[in-house]
Structure 1
Amino acid sequence: MNNSGTSTNRLCSFFLQGKCRFDQNCKFAHLDPPSRDIFQRIDAHGARVPDDPQTTANIDTMPAERQVRGRGRKDYVSEANGVRQSPETAWTQAERSELQRVQAQLAEEITRQHGLQARREAERKARQAEQEALKAKNDAAVVTQHVVFGSTLISCGAGIEIRSIISGFESCRLTIKNLPPDAKREEISALFTQQGIPLQDFLVLQIKPVDEGRHLEVNVLTRASLADLISVGLDGIDFRNERLAFKVSSDASPDAMGESSARDPHVLTISWRAPSTAMIVTYASMDEARARALSLDKNVWCGRKIHVEMNKPPVGPALRYYNPCSVKITGLPVGISPALVAVYSGTSIVKEIKSNIYNLDDSMVMLKEHLRSLPYNGVRSYELVSENESDGLVTMRVHFESWTHARRALDSLEGKRLRPEFPPYRLFLPHPIHFSRSISAQQFLSQQRLWDSLPGPTTGKGAHVRIYSNTEKTLIRVMGDDEKAVGALKVRVETLLSGEKLDASFWHRSFMSPTGREVLERIYSQFRVYVRVDSKELALRIYGDGTNMDVVRRIILAGVNQFSGQEWKVFLKRQSVSFFVRTGLAMLKETLGEDSVTLDVISRPCAISVRGGEDARHQLSKLIDLSLDELAVDQHIKADTSNTCPICYDQVSIPIKLGCKHTYCSACIRHYVTSADDSTSFPLVCLGDEAKCRTPISIPTIQHFLTRQQYDRLVQVAFSVYVDHHSQDLKYCTTPDCNQIYRSNSGTTLKCPSCFAEVCSSCHDDAHEGMLCQEQKLRKAFTEQLDEAWATKNGIKRCPACQVWIEKKDGCNHITCAKCNAHSCWICMKTFDTGELTYNHLTTEHGGFWDGEQNRDYERALALQRELDAL
């Protein structure tokens, strides 16, 4: 028997006694002795053991013949001189000869085992090198997907290199409904990959339960060119006994408002009062008249809902017949007798007055004739919804080919009677473009000044905002009939809805706890600034009107520091303890500080205590994952610390080896990655071989040092740099505040999914159908030259936000654009969020609200007012 782990030529004494518990893992040699008698006299070190006195005495008392036979294998005869040696001499020579043979055999076995061990070690290193190479290859192939700039889908490879782009102009949101509640993300992805769609062309954005958990609804971002094919090809298919439904939405931005929920935007609803009778009934006293009016009003009688009110004094000669104790009843059926009314109303004095009586059939015939007589009327069908119902209304729905046809019909009927006896029409046509979003009452109140500054139904031209609010929720609606105006206003509203997202330095998971929520509630109560926890992105969003925002940021940052100063403990698994004792603890202390980390190896289970924020938690989590990966642990422990770090050019401290085999100090590579958000050079590459290596750093290595928020921020920076470096191919939408991008190509008209602006992708100007780009450029230049000359002469300027012309006739230098409602300074044309900020700017930068003498007059008026107030 032998063992492969032998590291010495010493024999294992416990093995000779049959008691060794290490078996093949023993560091001493395990060899079966060739002669039991010899090993009874040789110890594990090869030294002779004295004979047992009792055994020697027994041998000496035996007859000589038995002694020789008893020693058998141990007595040797020297034939050199032909003289028989003494028993003692023969014993010694035989013992020495046997010992030499055993030692030679032992040396040979040890040499063999050393060779075997060397081969096994070489095989292990080869396997490890192969595993390391495979891991480096897999890490280098990792690709992540992200949604940036609203609804642009990008794929990032090693070093945050931008691999693929689906711009917001090219993307759309696909909603899949009726999925079973246990559907997996992989199964959802398979719906697309099985249609031949590559993984980089779609991203599952959200999976949410609906119908009280009976189904799942999934939002997927994909190419618009593919979405229609998918929705048509897969709509109605069976998925595990569920029939799927697909819906395509053009705007894929996660902060986009919901699309119009108005049904039948091409339908004009026309209603008018049905023929009815009105009567005056008189009572004995005012008290009785008031009581009867209250009790009879809005009752349904003879199939009609009647309206009863106190009779108002008439104007003119009829006033002499007026009785203040009289009540007016309207909505009575045509032809009803005064006697019946007298019985119902409880009085005998009843008088019929001029009423709304006409031929209903004639009115409907004339209405249809009027609509048909309109040029290009576009009428498709008529639908009589109600006729002479209890509410006394007749309602007709007219279906048109387009909203424009319906609008033209509405304009022709508005304020018009087709006959003098016909009642006026009530007309309703839903806005063709209509978006809505619900927010909390706290968010609305914190931004109320900004919401009030948006164009309303009476001030908005082509687009306006309607707000419906209660104690819990506020519904924001953007609507209008000018698509471009609605789009520009929608983008402004969505900017308010998304608020300001604070970066990773303002985040701590304690804000999701009851204690953290109390802090945020106190901020709202004290400063009227609403702070919301974005659990999806692990960030805070703040909402306000511009005031107290800096104060709130400082309070939040102080809260983060306070939470980060609290110590928290993590229990370690047994296999993690060794790693943290050898390298993990030192790595954490170097990153977080000597006093921020404590390792307790006495308690069971062992625990590590840490002080710090999200970055500290991230670093500890990554090291725990590393400690459970045997290959990674072996790399860290056996990494060569004699190498020179490519960043600090010093001997490596706490080494980190990249896939390209270059080794860095843990602190140096961490600083390189965390400071990359100020870089303008991507991808991030290895700086080894005097910066000649240039191998992109793998995504898992970058994510090892960055929290999720930091990594997302780095991706945003990398993409911004990419767009800047490819400015000839990628362009930003021209609408202010719209962050969509589009791909430049030759002569294609594109439409922004967020603001609906149409742009020529060749000259990047407004779309110009039927005109070459050069012609459009010349026409625009000539027009602008004329406009500028006229504007300069007449003191007219462009709005800095939406570029429409603004004329200032009188008043102060605070200008509010009638189109986009932007606040600006007329002198320097800077824009501001509120009028208050504009006035502050005018005072500090331009010496007052007005020009010249007007400012002095204003100051004198203020001084006089202060004197009067002091009296």
Structure 2
Amino acid sequence: MEKETVRPAWRLATARESVRQRDKIPCVFYARGTCRNGETCPFAHGTISAPTASATASRNEEGRGFPPPVEQKDTRNQVPCRFHLRGNCLKGSSCPFSHSNTDGESSVAGHAAAVNLEEPEPETKPDSWVRELHGVAVHFGDGVVVRKTSFQSDFSAVRISMLPPGSDQASISKLLSKLGFGVLAESIRVSSLGDDTHPVADICVEDPFFAKRFCNAIAPRPGAGDRTAPSTIKAISINPPMAPGASFQRVECKKVLCSWYRPFKTVWLNFRQSKSVAQRVHDGFETKSYTICNQTVKTHGPIRTQFRNQQPWTVMLTGVPADASPMDVKDTIPWNLQPTHIELGRPSYICNPAEPKALVKVKLQEIGPLEWWDDAVTPGGKRVKVKARFQQDGDAATAAASLNGWTMTTPLIDGKPKLAVQALYTARFKVLDRIFKAVQTAIDAKSPSWLAKHVLFTPYEPSKANRYRVLRLEGEDKEAVAAAKQTLEGILSGQVATENDNVIWTPAFTVSGSVFQKLKDLEQALGIVILRDKRLSRLHLFGPVEKCKEAQVHLAKMAKEDTSTLNAIILNDEQFTWACLGGFKAMANILGEKVTFDIISKPKRLLVTGSDKDYRTALDMVSSLKKAEALTVGRERISEASDCVICWNEAENPISASCGHIYCADCFERFCFSGATSGNADFRLQCEGDSGRCKKDLTLAELQEHLSSQTFEEMLEASFEAYTRRRPDSIRNCPKPDCPRIYRASPPGSGLTFTCPDCLTSVCTSCHASHVGMTCAEHQDVVSGGYAALQEAKKRLGIKDCPKCKTPIEKTYGCNHMTCAGCGTHICWNCMATFQSGKQCYEHLSKAHGGFGDYGEEAFL
């Protein structure tokens, strides 16, 4: 009988402890994909070891020793196998690294996304349709109607400090309500300004007297009892901010780029071999031939260190991704240069990846409301990057000044990562794609100088349905972006065709006849773009300078050889109806493209570009009113829906309005400008389809889509200027010549003074004279002597002032119905009564004065 072997209990315990220890050690054969033991292997499968924080601290202090291992998730299956990408991986399905092609593609896409994060992108948020013009925030609506004007004098603002801790918009709004001030939460902006104990709030209200009333309400008064507001809060009056909307061709500071380092750690590579092996590994990381988790790292060494009574050579790696495992480090080093031991340091900080992003967003929202936020984390890269765009211009600069270098410390972030915030200045343009292609060489020549000043230029591909291309300039330096914007504007404006400083133009350039075809042939021959500005009678050339000079020679010759003239035939109501019912079409069948129908002008007219014979032919047709022929042709005209509703010819570069009517691109642009400058009392830009009967408001969105950015912004400015001209009683210009600022007039006796922020000129908003230190009455007494003499001279010469805008008017002949050239007001010369239309004025002259004046009533029937 075989003797039973009895083992001591301490030895069994030691064996069990040894097994438990081996469970925590990764199996090197499993990592290589060659372990044959499977589930019976005593070593760990699918786990890797990393040092604990305490052991790492001990290692950093003593320079030696190994920390006990802790379990960490194996992430190698997320890393593409470099041998599989080469097509020679021998491990097949047992390889721990990814063999999926999509993984590799995702890695490349992720890298591209990381690059694109720093590049500007087209805006997707609709325009707010607010513009700052002449110092006024102007709100536009469909039809390019000025809906509202907000002067800085209409607002007042206060800054409240020493608020209770934790105050937010809602709590401050309730506090103001208790004090008797109803202020919406949207009008309150809260910030800490470096003091988290007592927040500070800026309040801006559309009430010029709010700041004064509020400061008086919280001011301490002797003998006053307990007040509703906390006794500690303080308030001072500040300048109200102006918030213009986003637009093209303006330098804005709304976007910020925020970034911070991803968690990283230090790795020590110990080599028992000769120094040359350690040096070769160091050189591999130094030349960036070796990367860890697709990231380059910094290397230091090799140096001698004390390690288990030995002195191996150590290479230290810094900036290693925090989730890198020992296998990630080993896999990047050739097998014949493998280190004896790899030791991992503690991550620079530990947190949930979503925590820093949420914290940064909250800090940005404390500065101002955000228009959009992009926190898509891209794989790879040493820094996490997010972008945000504020609603108000200038908030990005405030964010960069207050948050750049801020340490992100919260209970959920174990460490102190620092935030980097960059304010980005942006200027956008929208131009015809063919113009961009013509001047692309000139832009490419300027791009390196812009890039040297860290201004990035990006052109975006136009959509298939759009003829326009969006261009963007973006950088951190406002002055550099503004300078690049000015240069780009000069390139995109092209060159006006001239000869000996005289503009080259002939009426034949306005029509699509044989001369126009010659322009197209010249464009194709020289590889340039020629645009006709019919409104200003100019040709704009786009392309290489030498080619444009050559084109000017040909254009000057074409203009000299052309003998055509431009004549206009004014249509009365009957003649206009005849033209709409087919008379124009009948005339076009005879004269071709020499005649155009201008329904924009008031009164309506036909334009004849040709010889005197052509003009007489058109004039005879209008005079004879061939109604039968007109009605016959009119029925044919109804089916031709592709014709332009302005010129009534086949649409050139057709544009379709939202109502379905077709315009020539050039006619559409001229139509928009004519509406803005027409001087109508109630201006609305409406579709002229169906012979002017459509009357659907053209939306700002479709106008912005079909017009270049320069044309669209100029149209808005022209509309606002027409708006101000029609309101001389309420809107005035700064009295200094050539100063563009305007101000709002106030009632007599208000005592308000406007000080121009551009030229610093002060003017009384009631009497519109500069009399600092005097009332309006006192000033009038001082100047009454000269004023009386002026009035006497006017009376002697028969000059009267417009009752509305005070423009001097002299009557030399004609009836007693006068129209002011300054504001368009209709005036009765007898009693200086004013009317909104000429018809009302004539009715008044008949009833009150017995006739129209010098001519007699029959002359106007």
TM-score, normalization by structure 2: 0.31
Structure holding more helix per residue: 1
* Structure exhibiting the larger radius of gyration computed from Cα positions: 1
What TM-score, normalized by structure 1, do the two folds share?
Answer: 0.31
